[in-house]
Every structure is written in structure tokens, then in C-alpha cells.
């Protein structure tokens, strides 16, 4: 039984206050409707909900007298954390400088258990909260001020609480394995940023990274492959090998390793959520135990497990039983994304199960699997969470979905009665480059990235639950994802996530609707980047970023601006941009072909200027992202006409395929002035089976 008590210990911190005896410091409490703007010297990330600058600065170069008025477990836990945070305890004769931590039910405090009221003044430092989490986050604010200002920090009164209860970061040690120490390092940063969920993607096609005692072959075989580079392994047949094989790449977390990580995170108010991927992304599982697949073949594993076999269900339950023994998290993530029904539709066991359940579509097996797993988890006091594809087969209302495909998937899930974690790729996937691809990937050998180009500014602009969203009350929070296909080492992971994690942390914690000032945030992020690099984090060079594609920042008005466009060949259905307005709306594309670029298998457009005009130049931008077979034109023809029937060729250009991954090129004609009403541009891809993407046809 916990008893509330007070302890006084004297701690030599990295900070202290310069005054007085240990006595509580009170503030006015919260007033949610106040509009208090953080002054320019308020450098914290995430920004507090309410902050008032007090007079002066406080000297924190001396030890502090720590007093904790809280339950036994809270006081012991915080004392342990302070000790592990390079804080040394000294005798009472060495300090009388107060740091007061109080658990209170005062109605003036934020209602959230993670909220706190902090006062830093000449009288000392005081933190009040409703529980351990709030006190912990108050400590993080003090430590961050120390990191930013050094020995003399500004005096503040801060009342702070999170916008969302779920503030997550995802790591993928499957495609490339990362060490226990690396995860602890990221946990420390997450805690500083007041993030509270660590989602670990522990199984996938490329490896199984968690020891399961009952099924040792999952890590003895499924955790090891030939080829450390993910793409090389894909190209060489996706072969696994036994642990100890010469040249084998891989690794896994032992049960004790993972328990250590879970405990380390818990001390920092972070819950670790494990992901055991099913029914797809299962090569490592079916290679280790071929009988789990519809077609049993160790050397050519199948990506989906066989749902029709009862033995498969029992295998999964056995695995999850051990997972739940390691992870106390309420949520257990079961994936559920990017699966194929091809094998299920042909498999006798799956067809038998479909008949038994009265299913008419193999997709319904997916729903059956997750309803079964949800019931199993619920029987152990846990909850199912998975990617938004779980909606496909029909799942029970208690499942929580992570919306990754786009924001619409999350909105649909919320309207269907599901709790939702927003993690759309266009804002929250940190595996795409964060600056000009031409700068980030200068040569074919430069470290690649996935498709989405995502600037710090775009992350900061995200609102996971806007006022216009129906079902917004179902949004529990937001999460960033770091998939490691193209992150072969730990330095590369850090380069990709920092400083974008800073922005996501502020989106998750702070109410930015009234204070979304990116210029001001960027100043704070620059300071935090400097500190992070000094602490050994490999951050992106924000100070020297190019930012979004310069030509996309402002509309270009030319002779063809707003003119009618005839499409002799259709655009790609998935990439219409703004339809018939796209080629003459003056808007150039972003760095990614998914924003303001129109795609074609063959491009053939005619711009009608409305009347004969004097023209001396025609040009158009194209881009290349070779991984998705978006390539530059191999042939470009520009021609003009007065009557729309008889055309004069102005340019015919053959352009051989260039293997560089990211390319942006302008092609065009420039010559003597001529009277023109119609301008025609034709472009075909330089690579068979590829497509061309254009953002604007400029006429001058």
C-alpha cells in the first residue's frame, strides 16, 4: 500500500537555484482561455501552453535541496531518475537551495496527469502536478532551459499540459538492426521532448528481431540474412541463413534486452508498444516455420501467413503470450497492412475456413484474423492497434487504427467509431529527404530515401485533428514513423529524424492553432539542433537548408497563364494534380512528384492562348524519381500553330535516360519572335514502362 509522504534529499544537479529555504512556491493556476505569447527568449520545445516571464534570471550553478511530497512509488521513481540523469546526492549541510516536487489535487492544476505548474524564481523552483508524469515533464522543462541557457536561466511561471495523450515515435530495427544503446539514446531525446510512446516494429519480411522462447528458430534463422543492405537482399532472392553463418547480417533483442529497454523507457514516462506484423510482411516468420504459410517452402518464403490453419492461429497466440510478458503496454500492435489475398484464394485450408465462416471474399479472412486476435488480447487486458488496412475485412469497434495512407483513412476510421492515431505519410513519415533531393542525393551512390519529400516546415504545419474534422474527438494523438529500408546505420536514422522530431513533438503537445509561427519555431529548432549535436546526435544541417523548391513558392504568370488546355492523351488517374488547369495555373511542383505535378504515360497537351500572341519562348519542367519509374522525357517535341490544325515544329529533342535518382530539368525552345495561338508539347518517358511528370508549360 502506498503512503503519501515527504522526503528531502540534497542533490547536486546540473542546475540549482540561488536562494532560500525549502518552501512551496504557488502560482495562479491555469486559465485555458488566456492568450499568452511566449517571449522571444522562450526556447523550449515543445512550447508550453501558458507561460509568463518573471523578472530576472536564476543561478543554477549550485546544488539543490530536493523535497518530494508524493506517494512512495512516485518519490522513489523520480529520485531514481534524477540519479540516472547524472545527478549526485549530497549531504544536507551542502545545500539549502529548494527544488520542490508536489503531487496535488488542487483544482487550479491542469486536469491532465501529464500537466504541471512550474515556477522558477529567486525563491526557488517548484513543480506541482497530479501525478508522477506531470512532475517528470516539469523536470524536463527545467533541464531543457539549462541545456539552452547554461548556468543562468530565466525566471518563469509555466502552466503546461499536452494537447494529445498519445505522442509517438516509431523505429524500425527490422530492415536494418539497431542496438539497445541506440534506442536508449532516442528514448532520452523523446523524454526531453515530452513524447510518451515508442512504437517498435519488431517483425517484417526482412527479419524477426525479438526472442520468443517457444519458437527459437524465429531468431536463430529468421533474424539473419545474407546482405546488410536491404535492397541487395531483396535483389538476391530474400534468403535467410542460420545464426553464425559467415557473412550473415542481422541481430535481435533478447528477452532481457527488451525488458531493459521497456524499464528504461518507463522511467522516462514512455510506454513501449511492440509490433508483431501479420498477416502480411511475414517472410521471416514463414521462412523460419514454413508450415505457417499456405505454400510451405523455406527457401522461397511467402509474404502472408495461412489464416485457414488453426495451428497458425495458435502459433500467433503463443507468440503474443510471450510478447505480453515482456511489454506491459495496453496496446499491442499487429500491423495488418499491405497484404495480398492471392494465396488465400487458392489455399484449401483458407477456402475451408471461408466456407466454415460463411465468407464470400478472401479479404474477410483478414477481418476474421484480427477479430480473433482482438478477442485474445482483450482476454489478457490488452487492446489491439494496427494500420488502417484493418478496416478492409471488418473489425470490431474496440480496435484502434493508425492512419498512415492519408488523412482520409483516419477520418473514415473515426467516423466508423474507432480511436485513431494520425500518422499520415505526407506529414509523419521521416524516411523521405527533408531538403532539396538534388542536394541530399548528389550522386547515384548517395544514401537514398523513400518517395516523400518532407520539410521541417511541413511537419510543423500539420494539425492531426482540425476543427473541421468529423469525429475529431476520436483522435488520440499523432506519431512519426522512421522506416529503415534506406537507413543502413544509426547515424543515418538520426540524420533523418532530427530536427523533424522536434516539430512533431510540438504538434503533439502544444495547441498551435493560435501560435503556429514557423519562423519563431525554426529559431528554437536551430538552438536545439546545436545542443543535440553537442550531445552526440547526428542532426540534419537546418542552418543551411534550401527548403521547399524555390519555384513552387510563388505563382508564375506568363502568356499562357490561365489559358485553356486540351489533353490529347489522358493524365494518370492517380496523379491528376488540378486536372485541366494544371499546366497553366502558374503553380510549380514541390520537390516530390506527389505535390503539384501531373503524371502521364505519354504527354500530349495543347495550350490555347485565346488569340494570336507574340511568343519567343516555351519551356516546361520535368522531374525524375527513378525508384518509382518516374523518369525524365526521352523525347520532347514543342510545336505551334495559328489555326490549331497545322503545326510548325519548334523543338525536337532526344534525351537519353539518366540513372540519377532525383533530377529536375527544364526543357524548351527559345528563338525569334513569332505569332502563335496554339502551343503543343509532347513528351514520352526515357525508360520503357516509366511515366513523365510535368508541373507547368510556361509561354513567354
462 near 478, Cβ under 8 Å?
yes
Q: Which of 56, 39, 57, 61 is nearest to 48 (CA)?
A: 39
Q: What's the CA gap between 655 and 580, in Å, rounded? A: 27
| Residue 302, number of CB atoms within 10 A of its CB | 23
3-state secondary structure of 205: coil
Per-position DSSP letters for 33-74, written without gaps between them = T---PPPTT---SSPPSEEEEEEEEEE-SS-EEEEEEEEHHH
Exposed/middle/buried for 331, CB within 10 Å: 0-12, 13-18, 19+? buried
Catalytic site includes residue 604: no
Catalytic residue among 69, 128, 204, 696: 204
What is the end-to-end Cα distance of the chain in Å, rounded?
Answer: 81
**How far from chain centre, in Å, is Cα 474?**
20
Report the C-alpha gap between 676 and 202 in whole angstroms.
61
**Cα dihedral value 307, 311, 314, 320, nearest 10:** -60
Among residues 117, 176, 281, 418, the one annotated as catalytic is 281
Nearest CA among 296, 297, 279, 291 for reference residue 237:
297
For residue 532, the surrounding DSSP H or E stretch is helix 518-534
How many other C-beta atoms can be found within 10 angstroms of the C-beta atom of residue 530? Answer: 15
642 catalytic? Reply is no
Q: Cα-flanking dihedrals φ and ψ of residue 544, to 5°? A: -115, 25
Beta bridge partners of 250: 224
**Using CB atoms within 10 A of its CB, is residue 45 exposed (0-12), middle (13-18) or buried (19+)?**
buried
Catalytic residue among 72, 232, 330, 338: 338
Closest CA to 274 of 232, 227, 335: 335
CA 44 remoteness from chain centre: 21
Give catalytic status of residue 260 as yes or no.
no
Calculate the CA 419 to chain-centre distance.
18
Cβ neighbour number for residue 242 with a 10 Å cutoff = 10
CA distance 483 to 465: 24
- Report d(CA 346, CA 440) in Å as an integer: 45
Question: What residue spans of 66-179 are helical by DSSP H?
Answer: 72-84, 132-149
What is the C-alpha to C-alpha distance for residues 287 and 574, in angstroms, rounded to an integer?
A: 35
- Nearest of 74, 162, 40, 54 to residue 517 by alpha carbon: 40
> How far is residue 304 from each of residues 340, 347, 366, measured CA to CA in Å?
7, 12, 11
Catalytically active residues are 204, 281, 338
Amino acid at each position: 500500500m502506498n503512503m503519501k509522504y515527504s522526503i528531502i534529499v540534497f542533490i547536486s544537479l546540473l542546475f540549482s537555484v540561488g536562494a532560500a529555504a525549502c518552501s512551496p512556491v504557488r502560482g495562479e493556476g491555469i486559465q485555458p482561455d488566456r492568450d499568452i505569447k511566449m517571449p522571444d527568449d522562450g526556447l523550449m520545445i515543445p512550447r508550453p501552453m501558458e507561460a509568463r516571464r518573471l523578472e530576472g534570471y536564476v543561478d543554477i550553478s549550485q546544488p539543490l535541496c530536493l523535497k518530494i511530497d508524493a506517494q512512495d512509488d512516485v518519490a522513489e521513481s523520480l529520485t531514481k531518475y534524477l540519479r540516472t540523469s547524472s545527478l549526485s546526492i549530497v549531504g544536507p549541510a551542502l545545500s539549502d537551495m529548494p527544488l520542490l516536487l508536489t503531487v496535488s489535487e488542487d483544482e487550479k492544476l491542469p486536469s491532465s496527469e501529464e500537466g504541471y505548474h512550474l515556477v522558477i524564481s529567486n525563491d526557488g523552483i517548484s513543480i506541482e502536478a497530479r501525478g508522477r508524469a506531470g512532475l517528470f515533464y516539469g523536470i524536463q522543462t527545467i533541464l531543457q532551459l539549462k541545456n539552452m541557457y547554461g548556468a543562468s536561466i530565466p525566471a518563469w511561471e509555466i502552466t503546461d499540459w499536452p494537447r494529445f495523450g498519445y505522442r509517438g515515435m516509431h523505429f524500425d530495427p527490422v530492415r536494418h538492426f539497431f542496438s539497445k544503446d541506440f534506442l536508449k539514446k532516442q528514448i532520452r531525446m523523446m523524454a526531453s521532448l515530452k513524447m510518451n510512446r515508442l512504437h517498435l516494429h519488431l517483425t517484417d519480411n526482412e527479419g524477426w528481431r525479438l526472442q520468443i522462447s517457444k519458437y527459437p528458430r524465429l531468431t536463430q534463422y529468421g533474424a539473419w540474412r545474407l546482405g546488410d543492405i536491404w535492397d541487395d537482399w531483396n535483389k538476391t532472392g530474400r534468403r535467410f541463413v542460420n545464426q553464425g553463418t559467415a557473412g550473415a547480417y542481422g541481430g535481435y533483442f533478447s528477452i532481457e534486452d527488451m525488458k531493459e529497454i521497456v524499464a528504461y523507457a518507463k522511467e522516462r514516462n514512455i510506454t513501449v508498444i511492440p509490433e508483431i506484423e501479420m498477416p502480411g510482411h511475414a517472410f521471416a516468420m514463414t521462412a523460419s516455420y514454413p508450415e505457417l504459410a499456405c505454400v510451405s517452402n523455406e527457401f522461397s518464403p511467402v509474404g502472408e501467413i495461412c489464416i485457414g490453419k488453426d495451428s497458425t492461429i495458435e502459433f500467433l497466440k503463443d507468440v503474443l503470450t510471450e510478447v505480453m510478458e515482456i511489454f506491459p503496454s495496453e496496446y499491442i500492435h499487429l500491423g495488418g497492412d499491405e497484404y495480398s489475398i492471392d494465396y488465400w484464394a487458392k489455399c484449401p485450408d483458407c477456402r475451408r475456413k471461408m466456407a466454415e465462416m460463411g465468407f464470400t471474399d478472401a479479404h474477410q479472412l483478414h477481418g476474421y484474423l484480427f477479430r480473433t486476435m482482438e478477442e485474445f488480447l482483450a482476454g489478457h487486458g490488452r487492446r489491439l492497434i494496427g494500420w488502417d488496412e484493418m478496416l478492409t475485412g471488418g473489425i470490431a469497434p474496440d480496435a484502434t487504427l493508425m492512419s498512415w495512407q492519408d488523412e482520409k483513412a483516419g477520418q473514415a476510421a473515426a467516423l466508423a467509431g474507432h480511436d485513431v492515431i494520425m500518422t499520415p505519410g505526407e506529414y509523419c513519415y521521416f524516411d523521405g529527404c527533408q531538403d532539396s533531393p538534388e542536394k541530399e542525393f548528389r550522386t547515384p551512390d548517395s544514401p537514398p530515401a523513400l518517395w516523400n519529400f518532407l520539410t521541417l516546415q511541413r511537419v510543423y504545419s500539420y494539425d492531426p485533428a482540425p476543427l473541421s474534422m468529423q469525429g475529431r474527438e476520436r483522435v488520440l494523438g499523432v506519431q512519426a514513423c522512421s522506416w529503415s529500408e534506406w537507413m543502413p546505420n544509426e547515424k543515418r536514422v538520426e540524420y533523418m529524424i532530427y530536427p523533424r522530431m522536434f516539430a512533431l513533438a510540438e504538434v503533439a503537445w502544444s495547441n498551435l492553432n493560435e501560435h503556429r509561427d514557423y519562423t519563431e519555431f525554426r529559431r528554437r529548432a536551430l538552438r536545439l539542433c546545436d545542443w543535440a549535436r553537442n550531445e552526440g546526435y547526428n542532426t540534419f544541417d537546418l542552418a543551411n537548408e534550401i527548403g521547399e523548391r524555390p519555384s513552387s513558392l510563388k505563382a508564375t504568370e506568363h502568356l499562357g497563364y490561365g489559358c485553356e488546355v486540351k489533353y490529347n492523351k489522358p493524365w494518370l488517374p492517380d496523379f491528376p494534380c488540378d486536372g485541366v488547369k494544371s499546366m497553366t495555373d502558374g503553380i510549380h511542383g514541390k520537390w516530390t512528384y506527389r505535390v503539384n505535378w501531373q503524371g502521364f504515360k505519354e504527354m500530349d497537351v495543347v495550350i490555347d492562348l485565346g488569340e494570336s500572341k507574340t511568343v519567343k519562348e516555351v519551356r516546361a519542367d520535368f522531374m525524375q524519381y527513378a525508384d518509382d519509374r518516374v523518369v525524365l522525357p526521352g523525347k520532347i517535341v514543342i510545336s505551334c500553330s495559328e489555326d490549331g490544325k497545322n503545326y510548325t515544329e519548334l523543338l525536337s529533342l532526344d534525351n537519353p535516360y539518366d540513372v540519377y535518382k532525383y533530377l529536375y530539368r527544364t526543357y524548351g525552345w527559345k528563338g525569334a519572335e513569332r505569332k502563335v495561338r496554339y502551343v503543343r508539347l509532347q513528351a514520352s518517358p526515357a525508360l520503357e514502362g516509366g511515366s513523365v511528370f510535368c508541373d507547368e508549360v510556361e509561354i513567354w
